[in-house]
Structure 1
Amino acid sequence: MTSGIHHITGITRKIQANVDFYAGFLGLRLVKRTAGYEDADQLHLFYGDAAASPGSLVTFLAWEDGSPGRVGLGQPSEIAFAIRPEAIGFWLTRALTQNIAMTGPAQEFGEPVLRLKDPDGIIVKLVGEADVEGPAPHVTKDIAAGDAIQRIRGATILSERPAETAAFIGGHFGFRRAAEADGIVRLAGDAGDVLDIRDASGFWTSAPGTGTIDHVALRAPDRAAVEAAAGRLAAEDAGDTNMHDRTYFYSLYVREPGGSLVEYATDAPGMTVDEPLETLGARLFVPRHFRADPDDVRARLPQFSLPGEERMSERDLPFIHRVHRPENPDGTAVVLLHGTGGNETSLLPFGARLAPNAVLLSPRGRSMDEGYPRFFRRLTAVTFDQKELASEAEAFAAFMEGANAAYGLDPEKTLFVGYSNGANMIGAVMLLHPGVIRNAVLLRGMNVLETVPAADLSGANVLMVSGEADPYGRYAGDLEAHLAAAGATVEHKLLAAGHDIGIADLDLAKAYKERVVG
């Protein structure tokens, strides 16, 4: 049995910072970008050497703006990459000049080690391994072949049952006990990489989230070996296992006795099964089982730029938000405000179909109502928290002032599109802060202000779209009357629909956008 590490998977909160660290600072090659296999709205990036070799791969699931996790029991805690010992000085200087958090060098098991932290706080070790020779080190303009990362050196697993963890991994996946020191049992694989099992008795338990390592994947020679391992694990009642065809490898998942998730993955068919080596990582792969429109998935996923590419950095503004940049911008923008139960990604496919060449800006509501983000809370089905509504409208006005400056948006060529709670927010902002929003499409909107101030909305354009069967539709006329009384030009369309929106709403919004902002 050939044993070793196939890949290591972590979770990141900001994909651009992650790309800047792993592809930019560490010099790894981005070898694959996919939608998640469990969640199509989750971007999954693979980094590796120049040939995307098994044993060189580190991957990240993007939980954009997700909650931080907690490193603890039942979880890997460190990623280690192998470099040549003489390259330690290069990386020490590189970390210092690029302000990367670092400690060391120090000796661990007789090898020099630099400890770094990635932007999410995951510990990354650069280990000087004697006579290391990676299959295809990735060379960049500022990292020579002799200094480049050669492959994965190992990972550290925290366990309060270290002896059982070590026996499980050794017995099922071919690792052997190689050394022990300072509360760590070191297991070695045939490929030259290691797993350090740290006795973490008394530590707190782990919690999933950003800034944590999700799992370590170990190498299987072929699918038959994966299925044989599944049979052995089932016979030993070793816990739940599940097997998956991940297109680039076939694998099973199981938890070792200490609680860490372990994957067992085949080398074949590999990362080049669906795109040539020369252009590896250039296109997005969407797993077929979702039966999703790739354009819709692409619109919801966070965008990023590789080192050296032109970028529009996301700014720190009062609302968590997503910016989607088109390939051929036409100078217009669409701001999308979701309804209850949605988030900053929900309306991005709608926006991309509405205006393929517009910059899309989609904020997340900051109020939580029954576990869902909203732009302000409701007290009953048709009454709302007026104090929060006023404060959030003021915050949104400030957000748009910052966003216009940060992303170069022209208010005259920006269309605001809101659905349900988002539409209600747009209507409130227009009446409370005239001038912030000049062009709007309100899908299933209603008035939510108990006291409507005098406002001058002359020059503003509003399309309201209501549903004949919408139980809230009878409240739409009040908002229309207030906007028109303030001087806005209001069109109100009634569709044979309920509260949900569909293709008819999209067609109306698309035609309206062409008329009012181009």
Structure 2
Amino acid sequence: MTSGIHHITAITRKIQANVDFYVGFLGLRLVKRTAGYEDADQLHLLYGDAAASPGSLITFLAWEDGSPGRVGLGQPAEIALAIKPEAIGFWLTRALTHNITLTGPAQEFGEPVLRLKDPDGIIVKLVGEADVAGSAPHVTKDIAAADAIQRIRGATIFSEKPAETAAFIGGHFGYRQVAEADGITRLAGGTGDVLDIRNASGFWTSAPGTGTIDHIALRAPDRATVEAMAERLADEDAGDTNMHDRTYFYSLYVREPGGSLLEYATDAPGMTVDEPLETLGSKLFVPRHFRADPVDVQARLPQFALPGEERITERDLPFIHRVHRPESPDGTAVVLLHGTGGNETSLLPFGVRLAPNAVLLSPRGRSVDEGYPRFFRRLTTVTFDQKDLVGEAEAFAAFMEGANAAYGLDPGKTLFVGYSNGANMIGAVMQLHPGLIRNALLLRGMNVLESAPTVDLSGTNVLMLTGQSDPYGSYAAALETRLAAAGASVENRLVAAGHELGAADLDLAKAYRERIIG
């Protein structure tokens, strides 16, 4: 039986910081970028050695700006990577010069160990393993072959049932117990890696989220072995299992008695099944079962740059936001404000199709209504919290002032696009902070300000697109009247739709943007 770790998967909150750590600092190679198999709007990056070998792969699901999880019972807690023992000094110096949090070196099971923390707080151990020789260590301009990470050394699992966890992994996946010390049972696989089962009885339970390890995948020789394992686990009533074709491997998932999620994954067909080795990790793969348009998927995924590539550094501004930079920027920008139930990714596909060469800026509303982000709270379906509206409009004005400076946006060449609650926010901001927004596209908008401030909106261009069968469409005229009375150039067009958006909205939006911005 093949035994060993295939890959380890964790969750990150900021993909750029994650890339900078695992590629830039640790020197791993980005070997694959995919949309998530369970959620196409979730970026999944895979790092590994130069050949993307099983046993070298560390993968991350990007929950961009997601909530932090909690490390605890029933969860892997540490990633260990193997280096040559004589490379410990190199990595100690490198960590100090890169301002990476670390402890050690210390001895663990007779091996020198440096403990680091990645940007999400995940513990990454660099272990000096005697006579280690990875199959294809990735060499970079500042990390020589002698110092490079060789492969995965192992992982630590927190369990309140350590004996049962060890027996399950040993009995099903070919690991054997080789040592025990300080509450840790060490299991060794056939490929030289280890799993440390820590007795964490009395510790708090884990919670999924960013900064946690989702699962450990163990190696299977082929699909038939995975399917046979599924039958064996079912016969033993070992709990729920599910099998998936992940394109690059075939696998099943199961939880060990302590609660940690394990995957059993085949080595074949491997990461080069759809890309040559020379260009691994250069293109996005979208799983076919979503039947999604790759343009829409890619627009919603967070962007990042590899070390040395041009990048936009995201600024700390009052609103969580997403910046999408096109390959060939034309000096224009589109600011996108989502509707109720949406978030900072919802309108990005619309923005990419509206203005392929514009920088897109998409903030997330900070008010929460029935669990959904909004730009201000409502009291009923057609009355709104005026204090919240005024306060959030002021915060949004400050956000745009910072964003214009941080991302080099030209207000005269920026189109503000809002849908539903986002459109209502734009309409309010234009009245409360005149001059901030010069060009606006309001999709299914209505007036939400109860008092009409006296303002001058001369030189402001507004297109309103109202659905003919939109139940809120009758409220659009009040906003049109108020903006026009303040001096704005306003056009309110009816489209054959309800509250939802369609192709007609995009066509009219394109023509409008071409006319006012070019």
User: Which bracket does the TM-score occupy, shorter chain normalised?
Assistant: over 0.9
Equivalent pairs counted in the alignment come to 518
1:46 aligns with 46
Q: Which residue of 2 aligns with 1:393?
A: 393
Q: How does 1:6-17 map to 2 (within 5 A)?
A: 6-17=6-17
Can you list the C-alpha shifts for 1:67-99, whole angstroms capped at 9, x where unaligned?
000000000000000000000000000000000
Which AA in structure 2 matches 1:74? G
Q: CA deviation at 1:155?
A: 0.2
Match of 1:410 in 2: 410
The 5 A counterparts of 1:119-518 are: 119-518=119-518
Identity of aligned residues (%): 86
The residue aligned with 1:26 is: 26
d(CA) in 1 for partners of 2:205, 2:480: 54
CA deviation profile, 1:9-58 (whole Å, cap 9, x unmatched): 00000000000000000000000000000000000000000000000000
Distance 1:70 1:401 in 2: 35
Q: Distance in 2 between matches of 1:457 and 1:503?
A: 30
Q: Secondary structure at the match of 1:282?
A: coil
The one-letter code matched in structure 2 to 1:141 is: K
Shift of 1:413: 0.1
One-letter code of the match for 1:87? A
- Which runs of no fewer than 5 residues in structure 1 stay unpaired? none
Output the CA distance in 1 between the equivalents of 2:145 and 2:93. 17
AA in 1 matched with 2:418: G
**1:229-264 per-position Cα deviation (integer Å, ceiling 9, x unaligned):** 101100000000000000000000000000000000
Secondary structure in 1 aligned to 2:506?
A: helix
Shift of 1:496: 1.4
Match of 2:105 in 1: 105
Please state whether the residue corresponding to 1:266 is helix, strand or coil: strand
Equivalents in 2 of 1:74, 1:472: separation in Å? 48
Instruction: Give 2:339's aligned amino acid.
Output: G
Note the 1:72-83 alignment, pairs <5 A. 72-83=72-83
Q: Quote the Cα distance in structure 1 between the aligned partners of 2:499 and 2:424.
A: 13
In 1, Cα distance between equivalents of 2:511 and 2:335: 16
Give how far 1:458 is off: 0.5
1:497 deviates by 0.9
Give the alignment's Cα RMSD to 1 decimal. 0.4
| Aligned-partner SS, 1:272 | helix
Distance 1:261 1:19 in 2: 24
The aligned residue for residue 84 of structure 1 is: 84
Whole-Å Cα distance in 1 between the matches of residues 496 and 159 of structure 2?
Answer: 59
Which amino acid letter does the alignment assign opposite residue 439 of structure 1?
N
Offset at residue 482 of structure 1 (A): 0.7
DSSP-derived class of the 2:105 partner: strand
Deviation at 1:199, TM superposition (A): 0.1
* Whole-angstrom distance in 1 between the partners of 2:437 and 2:502: 24
Q: Where do residues 58-69 of structure 1 align in structure 2 (5 Å cutoff)?
A: 58-69=58-69
Cα distance in 1, alignment partners of residues 16 and 127 from structure 2: 26
User: C-alpha offsets along residues 397-446 of structure 1, whole Å, 9 cap, x if unaligned?
Assistant: 00000000000000000000000000000000000000110000000000
Distance in 1 of aligned mates of 2:21 and 2:344: 25
Q: CA deviation at 1:307?
A: 0.5
Rounded Cα–Cα distance in structure 2 between residues aligned with 1:278 and 1:454: 63
Structure 1 Cα separation of the partners of residues 452 and 396 of structure 2 = 18
For the residues of structure 1 that align with 2:257 and 2:103, how far apart are their CA atoms?
31
Per-residue CA distance 1:137-179 (angstroms, 9 max, x = gap):
0000000000000000000000000000000000001101111
Instruction: Name the aligned partner's letter for residue 303 of structure 1.
Output: Q
1:517: how far off?
1.2
Q: Secondary structure at the match of 1:164?
A: helix
- C-alpha distance in 2, partners of 1:80/1:455? 62
Q: Deviations over 1:80-123 (max 9, x none)?
A: 00000000000000000000000000000000000000000000
Instruction: State the SS of the aligned residue for 1:114.
Output: strand
**SS of residue matched to 2:271:** coil
SS in 2 for 1:323: strand
What residue identity is the alignment partner of 2:166?
A
Equivalent-residue separation in structure 1 for 2:279 and 2:270 (angstroms): 15
How far, CA to CA, are the matches of 2:79 and 2:512 in structure 1? 52
Shift of residue 2, structure 1, vs aligned partner: 1.2
Letter of the 2:466 counterpart? S
Deviation at 1:452, TM superposition (A): 1.3
Aligned-partner residue type, residue 222 of structure 1: D
Q: Secondary structure at the match of 1:428?
A: helix
Aligned to 1:393, what secondary structure does the other structure show?
Answer: helix
SS of the residue 2:273 aligns to: coil
CA distance in 1, matches of 2:235, 2:224: 17
Q: Counterparts of 2:267 and 2:363 in 1: how far apart (Å)?
A: 41
